Amino acid sequence: MQQEYAIEVKNITKSFKVYLDRSNNLKDFAIHSSRRKFENREVLKGISFKVKKGEAIGLVGRNGCGKSTTLKLLTRIMYPDTGEIKINGRVSSLIELGAGFHPDMSGRENIYINASIFGLSRKEIDKRVKKIIAFSELEDYIDNPVRTYSSGMYMRLAFSVAINVDADVLLIDEILAVGDANFQSKCFQKLRDIKESGTTIVIVSHALGQIESICERSIWIEDGKIKAEGEPRKVHRQYLQYMGMERREDKDEEENNKNVDVTINREGNHKVVFEKIQIFDSDGKVCHQFERGDDIIIEAQYRVFEKIHNAYFALDLIREDDNMYCFASNTNFSLKRKVNLMSDGKLQIRLNKVPLVPQRYFIDLILKEGNTKPIDIVRHAVDFEMFSYEKCGGITYIDTEWDWTDKDIENSLN
């Protein structure tokens, strides 16, 4: 293995037996075990890639494409059928947080158990235990049995152990949304610090914005093979376009012509109800992937069951990862007048040159009477993904110009 690489994966394959006639009890299993039918399902079909020391990469793809299986092979939870995996250094994994935790033992005792699974000695754990407890923010509960913890506390403790073992390679699978917003922010900053210290990171996530904020490279896995790899934003755009095309081919017409279910994610007295809510690009095509600066159009047909006076339409735009409100507006603010609804009609909202940074977002659509009385509120009415070729953080993009004067250069020229 070359010294510059932390991970080398060479042409690995992996298959699983999928049984077609499962036994319902031990008697069936004993009597009919020779007749049990199964098929070999090939999950990975020759995956090869290398990761340099200190590099962070993301694995993306649809559910079942093989990305989590790849990560489990890297952790040696399972082994490939063919091919070879080489890893240089100590590995820490955030795949199943809390695996190995004992519910009747205290948080402190479980720190020692979990850290020992990662290969730390008793002396090494003694040096780190205060830092682990402080990071988890569970000082007041650390000597209580873990069974008394909430799920959020449990995950925070497990996350704190895994990222404080000074691993050479850190493997992460879909568990970055740990705890409240403040703790999540601290986790992301810790990951950036770990990366800057030289740790190699491999992340599996459907949250493409998270990968773009941490990783230099993305690998898109499709049907057990690598379909594309490279700079995250370029790979993610290909992936999103591919998924969008596939959805249109498979079921776009069915989904787009379907009325909104009045019983799901709804609030209000339903004197007027939204129906057939859709999202379009500026060309009038149904779209769920937009580049920063694109126009986004939301349309909703509505049915009037009882005439309404003195109402207003509103929307809330929310970031999906942490439910952060990014934007809110209504017809009172924008038009400075009330809405009267006498008969069925159609609402159109145009969001011009949307400056949001790459992330996944959704929109709540709202109709209220007077000041506060809800008529119809549809939570998660539409969702969409933003992408951009430019790298930035935060919520919104601000066009920035940079300029500076180097006095040393000026003096040398004089």
Give the tokens for residue 398.
């601000």
Q: Please indicate whether residue 181 or residue 203 has the higher confidence score (pLDDT).
A: 203
Return the sign of the alpha-carbon dihedral for residues 375, 380, 382, 384. Answer: positive
Residue 100 clears pLDDT 90, i.e. is over it: no
Q: How far is CA 167 from CA 4, 162, 170, 200, 213, in A?
A: 17, 9, 6, 9, 21
Q: Mean pLDDT of all residues in the chain?
A: 84
Which pLDDT band holds residue 262 (cuts at 50, 70, 90)? Answer: very low
pTM score of the predicted model: 0.62
Residue 36 clears pLDDT 80, i.e. is over it: no
> Do residues 304 and 341 touch, judged by C-beta distance below 8 A?
yes
Neighbours of 93 (CB within 10 A): 23
Question: How many helices (H) and strands (E) would you count in the chain?
Answer: 10, 19
CA 203 to CA 174: how far, in whole Å? 8
CA 52 to CA 49: how far, in whole Å? 10
**Of the candidate ranges 56-60, 227-231, 368-372, the one whose mean pLDDT is the lowest:** 368-372
Which pLDDT band holds residue 148 (cuts at 50, 70, 90)? Answer: very high
Residues 149-161: tens digit of each pLDDT: 887 788 888 888 8
Give the tokens for residue 89.
């250094």
Give the tokens for residue 66.
């093989």
Residues 188-225: tens digit of each pLDDT: 788 888 888 899 999 998 778 778 888 999 999 999 99
Give the tokens for residue 245.
């095309």
Whole-number pLDDT of residue 192: 85
Whole-number pLDDT of residue 43: 92
Whole-number pLDDT of residue 52: 93
Chain-centroid distance, C-alpha 173: 10
Whole-number pLDDT of residue 62: 87
Q: Please indicate whether residue 65 or residue 259 has the higher confidence score (pLDDT).
A: 65
Whole-number pLDDT of residue 263: 47
Amino acid at 42: E
Which pLDDT band holds residue 24 (cuts at 50, 70, 90)? Answer: low
Residue 258 clears pLDDT 50, i.e. is over it: no
Q: Phi/psi class of residue 213: alpha, beta or left (left: φ > 0; alpha: ψ in -120 to 50)?
A: alpha
Q: Residue range 274-284: average pLDDT? A: 91
Q: How many residues appear in the chain? A: 414
Residues 337-357: tens digit of each pLDDT: 889 999 999 999 999 999 998
Half-sphere exposure of 407 (CA within 13 A, CB side): 0
Whole-number pLDDT of residue 255: 47
Residues 315-335: tens digit of each pLDDT: 999 988 778 889 999 998 888
Which pLDDT band holds residue 279 (cuts at 50, 70, 90)? Answer: very high
**Of the candidate ranges 29-33, 69-73, 133-137, the one whose mean pLDDT is the lowest:** 29-33
Residue among 96, 94, 230, 244 at smallest CA distance from 160: 94
Whole-number pLDDT of residue 49: 95
